Amino acid sequence: MRPRVVIAGAGFGGLTCARALKHAPVDVLLVDRNNYHLFTPLLYQVASALLDPGEIARPVRQLIRPLHNADFRQASITGVDLDGRRLLTDRGPIAYDYLVLATGAQTDYFGNASLAERAMGLKDLDEGLALRNRILSQFEASRWSDDPDRRRELLSFAVVGGGPTGVEMSGAISELIRLVLRRDYRDLDINEVRVVLIEAAPYVLGAFVPSLREAARRSLERKGIDVMLGAKVETVTENSVRLVGGEEIPARTVIWTAGVKASDVGQAAHVQLTRQARIKVDPTLQIPGHPVVFVVGDLAGATDPANGAMLPMLIPVAMQSAKLVAGSISDMVANGGARAFGYKDPGIMATIGRNSAVAQLSWLHLSGFPGWVFWLVVHLVNVVSFRSRLVVLVNWAWEYMFYDRPVRLIIRARP
């Protein structure tokens, strides 16, 4: 019988690992709580009514159709029985010969109950759609109020966290409002609308070089966003954000992008965790003492051998680690050993919106229009499928030429 490789999570790490095992003499089973694989870099465009969910996500079963040794089961992973070699799920246990844990990361509210209860996250399609509904609903609700203070609360959007997701989200909301909704709501007083980006550090985009951070900040301000630096959120109430120091920002919509930690599967596996609840792994990405269990992507607490720093939670890390682990499993099946992981950094980028992005690719630093063109090309090439690529391109071109976002629909799925 062929060894069974169970892969927990069908995100960037899990799917890449399954694909890299295509020709290995093993049977692969992917397990995910969702039946789709999500292209996270464009999630903010779903939340800001530019793209439809189907353009950035694909059913896992469709993606693995070309892999004749792979199958899929939809289930929520609840733990790992390391001694019994079983992945535990809400549908029952799954026996494995090799296990790859790739369940990614989740929003971290740092134990702040008001944040967890009232702030909105942006991690998966459900949250992206909830945010789109919320933004559009606030505009509709604002038309029913004669009280300018209440309208200001409804039309104020606070984005917390000046990393790439916060920067991209605030830029996209501002453009949705200023370029599109402003024309839908002819009686809208734009002075009642506010998009504020709140960041605890004295700069945005901390992973970038200072010149690109500064270029991003200027670009955000040009797009009408209030950038508040050195500002820490204390609590979120129904209609405001309170900062440490007492300042209160009226806003009924608060988007939290300032904290991330590994998925709960690490904790549920009862193994040693490192920073951000990531699983401590050997340089080969195996869990110490459990050589048939590997961890890839955001869940892996792996360090970069080049500088000893914890590897960032990024797609290239997930994909490169998954390819390495697939190679190690193939070698182990043939009685070889596991390989050590080394990360090749392809660079980082973030877009602020129309005609503006920053990209940092070793010695090459781009900002403004050249950065934006580079960002567009890289994202278009990497979108999930050829069909998505075409539809996304048409939507982007349409928006660019006509200042229009076609998916301004408030849709409530019935439970």
CB of 86: closest distance to ligand FAD in angstroms? 15
Q: Which amino acid is at 332?
A: M
Q: How far is CA 175 from the centre of its chain?
A: 20
Binding of ligand FAD at residue 315 (CB under 6 A)? yes
Binding of ligand FAD at residue 122 (CB under 6 A)? yes
Closest CB to ligand FAD: residue number: 11
Q: Kindly tell me the number of DSSP H helices and DSSP E strands found in the chain.
A: 13, 25
Task: Find the helix or strand (DSSP H, E) in which 331 lies.
Answer: helix 315-333
Binding of ligand FAD at residue 320 (CB under 6 A)? no
Residue among 18, 102, 285, 324 that touches ligand FAD (CB under 6 A): 102
- Measured distance CA(44)–CA(165) in Å, rounded: 8
Binding of ligand FAD at residue 87 (CB under 6 A)? no
CB of 5: closest distance to ligand FAD in angstroms? 15
- Both tokens of 10, joined, read 């069908």
CB atoms within 10 A of CB 334: 9
- Measured distance CA(283)–CA(290) in Å, rounded: 13
User: Among residues 168, 175, 199, 399, which one is catalytic?
Assistant: 168
Give yes or no for a contact between 250 and 239, defined as CB atoms under 8 angstroms apart: yes
Binding of ligand FAD at residue 76 (CB under 6 A)? yes
CB of 280: closest distance to ligand FAD in angstroms? 16
CB within 8 A of 179, min separation 6: which ones? 354, 403
Stretch that binds ligand FAD, among 9-17, 179-187, 234-242, 329-337 (CB under 6 A): 9-17
CB within 8 A of 162, min separation 6: which ones? 197, 198, 199, 201, 203, 204, 205, 206, 227, 229
Q: What are the CA-CA distances from residue 379 to residues 44, 131, 172, 328, 382 (Å)?
A: 13, 22, 16, 29, 5
DSSP code for 176:
I
Residue among 10, 64, 196, 324 that touches ligand FAD (CB under 6 A): 10
Is-catalytic flag, 168?
Answer: yes
Binding of ligand FAD at residue 121 (CB under 6 A)? no
Closer CB to ligand FAD, 12 or 152, in the complex: 12
CB of 17: closest distance to ligand FAD in angstroms? 9
Q: Binders of ligand FAD: how many residues, by CB under 6 A? A: 32
Within residues 196-255, the interface with ligand FAD by CB under 6 A covers none
Q: Which residues are catalytic?
A: 168
Instruction: Name the residues that contact ligand FAD, by CB under 6 A.
Output: 9-14, 32-34, 40-41, 43-44, 76-77, 102-104, 122-123, 164-165, 263, 265, 297-299, 313-316, 318
